[in-house]
Amino acid sequence: MKGSQILIDTLAGRPAAALMRDGQLDDLLIDPPDDVPRPGAIYRARVDRPMKGLGGRMLSIPGGSAFARQGQDLAAGASVLVQVTGYAEPGKAVPVTLKVLFKSRYCIVTPGAPGINLSRSIKDEDARARLRSVLDEFEFPEGVGVILRSAAQTAEDDAVADDLADTLDMALQVSGATKGGPELLLDGPSPDLLAWRDWSDVAASDVILEPGCFDTHGAAEAIDELRQPRVALPGGGHMYVEPTRALVAVDVNTGNDTSLAAGLKTNIAAIRELPRALRLLGLGGQIVIDFAPMAKKDRRSFEQTIRTALRTCPVETALVGWTPLGHFELSRKRERLPISVTLS
């Protein structure tokens, strides 16, 4: 099927959302187990001991511990607001930040980080002027910042204003709750809310809510294929994406293509497919890629292909570079649980 669809259903008994583009599964969001804090959740935490050598602080939150890389000057026992930035690695504390923000479909509100801005991806000057007129209708409290997201460019002014007003009210309410013991103040977004917030290019008429829609629209079959590490690539090549305890290993192979350009062609196909594969598999952290053999002179131009492929991926990913053994490393934010965990 051509076009994009959002499917809202359940998977392994948990709420889930799937994004289908031209009949292909492009993204997948699955609710974590009940005892796992969702990314984006905001807690009032209690400051514990400093972590010598790591430059951060341990904090107590309901149900466990959290770690913030900032806050070295915070006094032990103090209460502070923190936001979950990703999922904890096994045996480690939940990663959090002291820079709390409130993200919605059309806006981001940043208490403690003042400034009124529009997304840099909004290039049209008429649209920027129109959205600044929407912002001019608001009086923002001192110290509070706002960013209008790219989705605001095509939205009705009233929809943008309503979303901003609701998000601002929530931000002021939550950010004022600084006194008391450890407490969950705002849960992280569920899959359906994340889909509404971040997949804003899909029309409301293309959102399917019927139970069983994963089966009837091809998502279930595509999800079953994720249990296998082998990912087929255009042109006949393939790659294996396999998580280990320390890192995610990616092995790229040309298949039956033995031409001189086979390595470069397959590597280009692999890096274009890899962001989607990592999203669907819920993998992050250190990514080590063993690309198919190609000439060293092609590496510089190929790095631009890597940057282009990662630019539109919603999961924050940094290029680390080539290793002495010829592997390429990425560092990817752990904002999703591995699908092996969510489907277990």
325 belongs to a structural domain = yes
191 belongs to a structural domain = no
pLDDT at 258: 80
Chain centroid, CA 137 distance in Å = 31
142 belongs to a structural domain = yes
Mean pLDDT of 44-48: 95
307 belongs to a structural domain = yes
| Same domain, residue pair 309 and 245 | yes
289 belongs to a structural domain = yes
**CATH number (domain holding residue 119):** 3.30.230.10
The number of beta carbons lying within 10 Å of the beta carbon of residue 233 is 21
pLDDT at 333: 92
Beta strands in the chain (DSSP E): 4-11, 14-21, 24-30, 42-51, 56-61, 64-68, 79-84, 94-97, 102-103, 107-111, 115-118, 144-148, 183-186, 207-208, 230-232, 238-243, 248-253, 285-290, 317-322, 328-332
| Same domain, residue pair 75 and 181 | no
Structural domain including 70 reads 42-97
| Same domain, residue pair 140 and 203 | no
pLDDT at 60: 96
Q: What's the structural domain count of the chain? A: 4
37 belongs to a structural domain = no
Mean pLDDT of 330-334: 95
pTM: 0.91
266 SS3 class: helix
Q: How far is CA 234 from CA 116, 127, 262, 271, in A?
A: 44, 38, 12, 11
Q: CB-based contacts of 7: which residues, under 8 Å, 6+ apart? A: 17, 18, 19, 20, 208, 213, 214, 217, 219
Q: How far is CA 123 from CA 118, 126, 151, in A?
A: 10, 9, 12
| Same domain, residue pair 109 and 93 | no
- R_g (Cα) of the chain, nearest Å: 22
| Same domain, residue pair 93 and 114 | no
pLDDT at 249: 98
- Of 130-134, 259-263, 295-299, 301-305, the range with the lowest mean pLDDT is 259-263
CA distance 332 to 318: 6
291 belongs to a structural domain = yes
pLDDT at 99: 95
Tens-digit pLDDT profile for residues 75-116: 889 999 999 999 988 888 999 999 999 999 999 999 999 999
| Same domain, residue pair 174 and 261 | no
pLDDT at 55: 74
CA distance 298 to 293: 11
Q: Which residue has the higher pLDDT, 249 or 53?
A: 249
| Same domain, residue pair 26 and 46 | no
Mean pLDDT of 9-14: 93
Tens-digit pLDDT profile for residues 143-162: 999 999 999 999 999 999 99
| Same domain, residue pair 239 and 331 | yes
pLDDT at 259: 84
Mean pLDDT of 199-220: 96
Mean pLDDT of 303-326: 95
Mean pLDDT of 246-256: 94
- Of 1-5, 150-154, 209-213, 272-276, the range with the lowest mean pLDDT is 1-5
pLDDT at 321: 95
Question: Does the pLDDT of residue 52 top 80, yes or no?
Answer: no
- Place 69 in a pLDDT band, splitting at 50, 70 and 90: confident
CA distance 159 to 12: 35
* Closest-CA residue to 30 (of 54, 45, 6, 11): 11
Q: Which residue has the higher pLDDT, 35 or 194?
A: 194
First to last CA, the chain: 30
**CATH number (domain holding residue 266):** 3.40.630
Question: In the chain, how many H helices and how many E strands?
Answer: 8, 20
334 belongs to a structural domain = yes
| Same domain, residue pair 213 and 302 | no
CA distance 53 to 255: 46
**CATH number (domain holding residue 84):** 2.40.50
| Same domain, residue pair 245 and 333 | yes
- Of 72-76, 129-133, 204-208, 252-256, the range with the lowest mean pLDDT is 72-76
The proportion of the chain whose per-residue pLDDT surpasses 70, expressed as a percent, equals 100
Tokens of 54: 């790591």
Mean pLDDT of 288-308: 94
pLDDT at 257: 82
pLDDT at 33: 86
Last residue of a domain, one of 50, 78, 97: 97
Q: How far is CA 284 from CA 72, 76, 190, 234, 288, in A?
A: 27, 32, 20, 24, 11
Question: Does the pLDDT of residue 176 top 80, yes or no?
Answer: yes
